[in-house]
Structure 1
């Protein structure tokens, strides 16, 4: 990780009222390089010498501060970086979380969203918008 990248991550964490510890910077950097949501075990496997509890606490802090959002998949929780407009009061992950039954990956589909309906007479704070199927990559492979 370059010095510039480390400074950018530190600034992002501080902007979310989160102290930029070494582990938080490493976890953020790793999650930022991923295209899919990952479980605690999958994240832990990337950090051989790190304590599982430290990584778990890092993810929970990130979730509380609006840095990651969690996706419930049966009995597994997966994590993905939030967009910059999320914060500790409001997560704006109102997009589809898609699980592929073939490659077993969970991705965020930001182009498929659950829109607000302000005239309903109530406020929605969180939406769990989840679907299972076959992703575009696996679908292309099955058609060949």
Structure 2
């Protein structure tokens, strides 16, 4: 996320609140996707679970974040590229889910071709690779 929290919220038509700024700050500091439980730990009681859920939902709806479900069924969120907009996530790429630390990384530079048959219209493409991330594989 290169833009400021204020710019991101304004661009996506969201009111600027302290809680939204705090959540955007967490995503700007993370180089991997964050789940709601992980965010709750990081925020240490700064906001309640319902408020956080609403923020994450609105950010996904507006194209600020995209969601990825890990191998355990937990939804994780990562920052969208600038090409995403409300309801249209265009940053389709492979996600890497580490089996050891469970972190999910967006592999932006890896974008395999997906051949959708004639007559089908893909709304979203999700490819998840699993294995060990560079930190876990070096230990």
The TM-score normalised by the length of structure 1 is 0.84
User: For 2:138, what is the secondary structure of its paired residue?
Assistant: helix
Take 1:104 and 1:28, find their aligned partners in 2: how far apart are those partners? Answer: 22
User: For 2:91, what is the secondary structure of its paired residue?
Assistant: coil
The equivalent of 1:26 in structure 2 is: 22
- Unaligned runs of at least 5 residues, structure 2: none
Map 1:27-106; keep pairs closer than 5 Å: 27-47=23-43, 48-73=45-70, 74-106=72-104
Preserved contact between residue 83 and residue 91 of structure 2 (Cα < 8 Å)? no
Please tell me whether Structure 1 or Structure 2 has the larger radius of gyration of its CA atoms: 1
- How many residue pairs were aligned? 136
How far does residue 83 in structure 1 lie from its aligned partner after superposition?
A: 1.0
Deviations, residues 49-91 of structure 1 (Å, cap 9, x unaligned)? 3111101100000000000001011320011111111111310
**1:16–1:116: structure 2 CA closer, same or farther, 3 Å change rule?**
farther
User: For 1:111, what is the secondary structure of its paired residue?
Assistant: coil
The equivalent of 2:136 in structure 1 is: 138
Instruction: Say which structure is richer in helix.
Output: 1
How far does residue 93 in structure 1 lie from its aligned partner after superposition?
A: 2.7
The TM-score normalised by the length of structure 2 is 0.87
Displaced runs of 4 or more, over 3 A: 114-122
The equivalent of 1:109 in structure 2 is: 107
The equivalent of 2:11 in structure 1 is: 15
Please give the root-mean-square deviation of Cα atoms over the aligned residues, in Å: 2.1
- Unaligned runs of at least 5 residues, structure 1: none
**1:17–1:117: structure 2 CA closer, same or farther, 3 Å change rule?**
farther
